[in-house]
Protein backbone atom coordinates (compact mmCIF):
# COMPACT_ATOMS: atom_id res chain seq x y z
CA UNK A 1 0.00 0.00 0.00
CA UNK A 2 2.85 2.42 0.84
CA UNK A 3 4.12 2.11 -2.74
CA UNK A 4 0.80 3.12 -4.30
CA UNK A 5 0.60 6.39 -6.21
CA UNK A 6 -2.55 8.33 -7.13
CA UNK A 7 -0.67 9.81 -10.06
CA UNK A 8 0.15 6.31 -11.30
CA UNK A 9 -3.47 5.17 -10.88
CA UNK A 10 -4.79 8.13 -12.85
CA UNK A 11 -2.15 7.59 -15.54
CA UNK A 12 -3.22 3.95 -15.81
CA UNK A 13 -6.86 5.02 -16.10
CA UNK A 14 -5.96 7.45 -18.88
CA UNK A 15 -3.96 4.77 -20.71
CA UNK A 16 -6.96 2.42 -20.51
CA UNK A 17 -9.30 5.10 -21.86
CA UNK A 18 -7.00 5.95 -24.76
CA UNK A 19 -6.38 2.28 -25.55
CA UNK A 20 -10.13 1.56 -25.76
CA UNK A 21 -10.73 4.49 -28.11
CA UNK A 22 -7.67 3.74 -30.24
CA UNK A 23 -8.75 0.11 -30.64
CA UNK A 24 -12.25 1.15 -31.69
CA UNK A 25 -10.92 3.68 -34.15
CA UNK A 26 -8.54 1.18 -35.74
CA UNK A 27 -11.00 -1.72 -35.77
CA UNK A 28 -14.17 -0.04 -36.97
CA UNK A 29 -12.41 2.43 -39.21
CA UNK A 30 -11.25 -0.46 -41.37
CA UNK A 31 -14.62 -2.21 -41.56
CA UNK A 32 -16.82 0.56 -42.95
CA UNK A 33 -18.90 0.85 -39.77
CA UNK A 34 -16.85 3.52 -38.05
CA UNK A 35 -19.94 5.45 -36.96
CA UNK A 36 -21.39 2.46 -35.12
CA UNK A 37 -17.99 1.62 -33.70
CA UNK A 38 -17.61 5.15 -32.37
CA UNK A 39 -20.79 5.09 -30.32
CA UNK A 40 -20.09 1.59 -29.01
CA UNK A 41 -16.61 2.63 -27.93
CA UNK A 42 -17.89 5.65 -26.00
CA UNK A 43 -20.79 3.68 -24.48
CA UNK A 44 -18.42 1.01 -23.19
CA UNK A 45 -16.12 3.68 -21.82
CA UNK A 46 -18.91 5.57 -20.03
CA UNK A 47 -20.44 2.42 -18.55
CA UNK A 48 -17.01 1.45 -17.23
CA UNK A 49 -16.24 4.71 -15.48
CA UNK A 50 -19.52 6.46 -14.65
CA UNK A 51 -21.17 5.77 -11.25
CA UNK A 52 -23.61 2.88 -11.43
CA UNK A 53 -26.73 5.02 -11.09
CA UNK A 54 -26.06 6.06 -14.72
CA UNK A 55 -26.26 3.95 -17.85
CA UNK A 56 -25.13 4.86 -21.35
CA UNK A 57 -26.75 3.37 -24.45
CA UNK A 58 -27.88 4.10 -27.98
CA UNK A 59 -31.57 4.89 -27.60
CA UNK A 60 -34.69 6.70 -28.68
CA UNK A 61 -36.26 9.14 -26.23
CA UNK A 62 -40.02 9.51 -25.67
CA UNK A 63 -42.19 11.93 -23.74
CA UNK A 64 -45.60 11.50 -22.12
CA UNK A 65 -47.30 13.02 -25.19
CA UNK A 66 -46.05 10.08 -27.25
CA UNK A 67 -43.47 12.13 -29.17
CA UNK A 68 -40.24 10.32 -30.03
CA UNK A 69 -36.80 11.73 -30.71
CA UNK A 70 -34.54 10.52 -33.45
CA UNK A 71 -32.18 7.76 -32.33
CA UNK A 72 -29.38 9.27 -30.25
CA UNK A 73 -25.91 7.73 -30.50
CA UNK A 74 -25.20 7.96 -26.77
CA UNK A 75 -27.82 8.65 -24.10
CA UNK A 76 -26.88 8.84 -20.42
CA UNK A 77 -29.92 8.10 -18.32
CA UNK A 78 -30.96 7.18 -14.80
CA UNK A 79 -30.98 3.44 -14.11
CA UNK A 80 -31.52 3.57 -10.36
CA UNK A 81 -34.91 5.25 -10.01
CA UNK A 82 -36.35 5.24 -13.54
CA UNK A 83 -39.55 3.14 -13.36
CA UNK A 84 -39.40 1.90 -16.93
CA UNK A 85 -37.06 1.54 -19.87
CA UNK A 86 -38.72 0.17 -23.00
CA UNK A 87 -37.28 -2.39 -25.41
CA UNK A 88 -38.96 -2.75 -28.80
CA UNK A 89 -37.65 -4.87 -31.67
CA UNK A 90 -34.15 -4.68 -30.27
CA UNK A 91 -34.25 -0.92 -29.75
CA UNK A 92 -34.15 0.91 -26.41
CA UNK A 93 -36.59 3.71 -25.59
CA UNK A 94 -36.01 5.94 -22.56
CA UNK A 95 -38.52 8.38 -21.00
CA UNK A 96 -37.28 11.97 -21.29
CA UNK A 97 -37.45 12.52 -17.53
CA UNK A 98 -34.74 9.89 -16.99
CA UNK A 99 -32.27 11.48 -19.43
CA UNK A 100 -29.22 13.36 -18.18
CA UNK A 101 -27.26 13.81 -21.39
CA UNK A 102 -27.35 13.10 -25.13
CA UNK A 103 -24.31 12.87 -27.40
CA UNK A 104 -23.68 12.58 -31.10
CA UNK A 105 -20.74 10.16 -31.55
CA UNK A 106 -18.88 9.89 -34.84
CA UNK A 107 -15.27 9.31 -35.93
CA UNK A 108 -14.68 12.87 -37.16
CA UNK A 109 -16.20 16.28 -36.41
CA UNK A 110 -16.91 18.82 -39.15
CA UNK A 111 -19.32 21.69 -39.74
CA UNK A 112 -22.06 19.41 -41.08
CA UNK A 113 -21.84 17.08 -38.08
CA UNK A 114 -21.87 19.94 -35.57
CA UNK A 115 -24.98 21.42 -37.16
CA UNK A 116 -26.64 18.00 -37.16
CA UNK A 117 -25.75 17.50 -33.49
CA UNK A 118 -27.20 20.92 -32.65
CA UNK A 119 -30.46 20.13 -34.43
CA UNK A 120 -30.72 16.81 -32.61
CA UNK A 121 -30.02 18.54 -29.29
CA UNK A 122 -32.83 21.00 -29.98
CA UNK A 123 -35.23 18.18 -30.87
CA UNK A 124 -34.49 16.37 -27.59
CA UNK A 125 -34.92 19.53 -25.54
CA UNK A 126 -38.26 20.16 -27.27
CA UNK A 127 -39.72 17.00 -25.71
CA UNK A 128 -42.10 17.59 -22.82
CA UNK A 129 -40.85 16.65 -19.36
CA UNK A 130 -43.35 16.03 -16.59
CA UNK A 131 -42.79 17.10 -13.01
CA UNK A 132 -43.96 15.31 -9.89
CA UNK A 133 -44.46 16.77 -6.46
CA UNK A 134 -42.79 14.95 -3.58
CA UNK A 135 -43.49 15.15 0.14
CA UNK A 136 -40.64 16.72 2.10
CA UNK A 137 -40.69 16.42 5.93
CA UNK A 138 -41.61 19.80 7.40
CA UNK A 139 -41.73 21.42 3.96
CA UNK A 140 -44.89 19.99 2.43
CA UNK A 141 -45.24 19.21 -1.27
CA UNK A 142 -42.28 20.30 -3.36
CA UNK A 143 -41.63 20.09 -7.08
CA UNK A 144 -38.02 19.46 -8.03
CA UNK A 145 -36.83 21.93 -10.67
CA UNK A 146 -35.93 20.33 -13.98
CA UNK A 147 -32.20 20.51 -14.64
CA UNK A 148 -31.18 21.25 -18.24
CA UNK A 149 -30.39 18.21 -20.36
CA UNK A 150 -26.74 18.19 -21.39
CA UNK A 151 -26.03 17.72 -25.09
CA UNK A 152 -22.67 17.15 -26.66
CA UNK A 153 -20.31 15.66 -29.21
CA UNK A 154 -17.87 12.75 -29.06
CA UNK A 155 -15.33 12.14 -31.84
CA UNK A 156 -11.78 10.96 -32.39
CA UNK A 157 -10.74 13.76 -34.78
CA UNK A 158 -11.93 16.93 -36.51
CA UNK A 159 -11.57 18.01 -40.13
CA UNK A 160 -10.23 21.40 -39.00
CA UNK A 161 -6.64 22.50 -38.63
CA UNK A 162 -6.03 23.21 -35.84
CA UNK A 163 -8.52 20.69 -34.51
CA UNK A 164 -9.99 22.92 -31.79
CA UNK A 165 -9.28 26.28 -33.36
CA UNK A 166 -11.35 29.28 -34.44
CA UNK A 167 -13.43 27.43 -37.06
CA UNK A 168 -14.40 24.72 -34.57
CA UNK A 169 -15.37 27.35 -31.99
CA UNK A 170 -17.33 29.29 -34.62
CA UNK A 171 -19.33 26.15 -35.46
CA UNK A 172 -20.09 25.57 -31.76
CA UNK A 173 -21.21 29.19 -31.31
CA UNK A 174 -23.65 28.93 -34.25
CA UNK A 175 -26.39 27.78 -31.88
CA UNK A 176 -26.34 28.85 -28.24
CA UNK A 177 -30.05 28.28 -27.78
CA UNK A 178 -31.94 24.98 -27.71
CA UNK A 179 -29.26 23.35 -29.86
CA UNK A 180 -26.33 24.33 -27.69
CA UNK A 181 -23.63 21.70 -27.24
CA UNK A 182 -22.57 21.83 -23.58
CA UNK A 183 -19.70 19.37 -23.46
CA UNK A 184 -17.70 17.14 -25.73
CA UNK A 185 -14.45 15.41 -26.51
CA UNK A 186 -12.18 15.22 -29.54
CA UNK A 187 -10.18 12.28 -28.20
CA UNK A 188 -6.98 12.98 -30.15
CA UNK A 189 -6.82 16.67 -29.34
CA UNK A 190 -8.88 18.05 -26.47
CA UNK A 191 -12.30 18.64 -24.95
CA UNK A 192 -14.77 21.50 -24.57
CA UNK A 193 -17.41 22.71 -22.13
CA UNK A 194 -19.86 25.59 -22.08
CA UNK A 195 -19.28 28.05 -19.24
CA UNK A 196 -22.63 29.46 -18.08
CA UNK A 197 -20.97 32.22 -16.10
CA UNK A 198 -19.01 33.54 -19.06
CA UNK A 199 -21.62 32.57 -21.68
CA UNK A 200 -19.08 30.96 -23.97
CA UNK A 201 -17.42 27.67 -24.80
CA UNK A 202 -14.05 26.82 -23.30
CA UNK A 203 -11.80 24.72 -25.50
CA UNK A 204 -8.97 22.82 -23.85
CA UNK A 205 -6.28 21.18 -25.97
CA UNK A 206 -4.15 18.33 -24.69
CA UNK A 207 -4.53 17.59 -20.96
CA UNK A 208 -5.23 13.86 -21.58
CA UNK A 209 -8.45 14.71 -23.47
CA UNK A 210 -10.73 11.70 -22.94
CA UNK A 211 -9.89 11.35 -19.26
CA UNK A 212 -10.27 15.10 -18.66
CA UNK A 213 -13.64 14.94 -20.44
CA UNK A 214 -14.78 12.07 -18.20
CA UNK A 215 -13.87 14.01 -15.07
CA UNK A 216 -15.69 17.13 -16.32
CA UNK A 217 -18.76 15.07 -17.27
CA UNK A 218 -18.91 13.46 -13.82
CA UNK A 219 -18.57 16.90 -12.25
CA UNK A 220 -21.52 18.19 -14.27
CA UNK A 221 -23.61 15.11 -13.45
CA UNK A 222 -22.92 15.67 -9.75
CA UNK A 223 -24.26 19.21 -10.04
CA UNK A 224 -27.44 17.95 -11.71
CA UNK A 225 -28.03 15.37 -8.98
CA UNK A 226 -30.75 12.73 -9.26
CA UNK A 227 -33.14 12.78 -12.20
CA UNK A 228 -36.63 14.07 -11.34
CA UNK A 229 -39.28 11.45 -10.51
CA UNK A 230 -41.19 10.32 -13.58
CA UNK A 231 -44.89 11.13 -13.45
CA UNK A 232 -46.02 7.60 -14.23
CA UNK A 233 -49.67 8.66 -14.43
CA UNK A 234 -48.88 10.89 -17.40
CA UNK A 235 -47.61 7.82 -19.28
CA UNK A 236 -50.19 5.33 -18.02
CA UNK A 237 -53.00 7.15 -19.84
CA UNK A 238 -51.68 5.54 -23.03
CA UNK A 239 -52.79 2.14 -21.71
CA UNK A 240 -56.39 3.15 -22.35
CA UNK A 241 -55.85 4.15 -25.98
pLDDT tens digits, 156-209: 889 999 999 999 999 999 999 999 999 999 988 999 999 999 999 999 998 788
Residue 241 bears catalytic tag: no
pLDDT at 145: 74
**pLDDT class for 12, splitting at 50, 70, 90?**
confident
pLDDT at 115: 96
In a domain, 117, yes or no: yes
pLDDT at 134: 56
In a domain, 103, yes or no: yes
In a domain, 76, yes or no: yes
DSSP structure string for 38-57: HHHHHHHHHHHHS-TTEEEE
Which residue out of 73, 78, 97, 182 is catalytically annotated?
73
pLDDT at 32: 43
In a domain, 176, yes or no: yes
Q: Does the structure show a pLDDT above 90 at 19?
A: no
Which residues does 195 contact at the CB level (< 8 Å), separation at least 6? 201, 202
| pTM for the structure as a whole | 0.88
Which residue out of 39, 55, 104, 182 is catalytically annotated?
104
In a domain, 15, yes or no: no
In a domain, 133, yes or no: no
pLDDT tens digits, 71-110: 999 999 998 878 788 888 889 999 999 999 999 999 889 9
Segments forming the whole domain that contains residue 162:
33-125+146-229
For the segment 25-42, the average pLDDT, to the nearest whole number, is 62
Which residues does 72 contact at the CB level (< 8 Å), separation at least 6? 58, 59, 60, 61, 102, 103, 104, 120, 124
Q: Does the structure show a pLDDT above 60 at 44?
A: yes
Which residue out of 63, 106, 216, 220 is catalytically annotated?
106
How many structural domains are present in the chain? 1
Q: Please give the span between the terminal C-alpha atoms of the chain, in angstroms, as a whole number.
A: 62
**pLDDT class for 132, splitting at 50, 70, 90?**
confident
In a domain, 9, yes or no: no
- Cβ atoms < 10 Å from Cβ of 213: 25
Percent of the chain residues past pLDDT 90, beyond the cut: 53
Residue 233 bears catalytic tag: no
C-alpha–C-alpha distance, residues 15 and 39, integer Å: 19
Residue 73 bears catalytic tag: yes
In a domain, 55, yes or no: yes
Amino acid sequence: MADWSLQALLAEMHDDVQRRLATARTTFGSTGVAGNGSDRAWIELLNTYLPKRYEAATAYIVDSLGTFSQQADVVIFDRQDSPFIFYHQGQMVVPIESVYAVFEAKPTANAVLLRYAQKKAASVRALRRTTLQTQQPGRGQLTKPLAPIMCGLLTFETDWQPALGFEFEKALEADLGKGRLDIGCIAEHGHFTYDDNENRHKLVTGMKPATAFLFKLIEKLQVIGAAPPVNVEAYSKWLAK
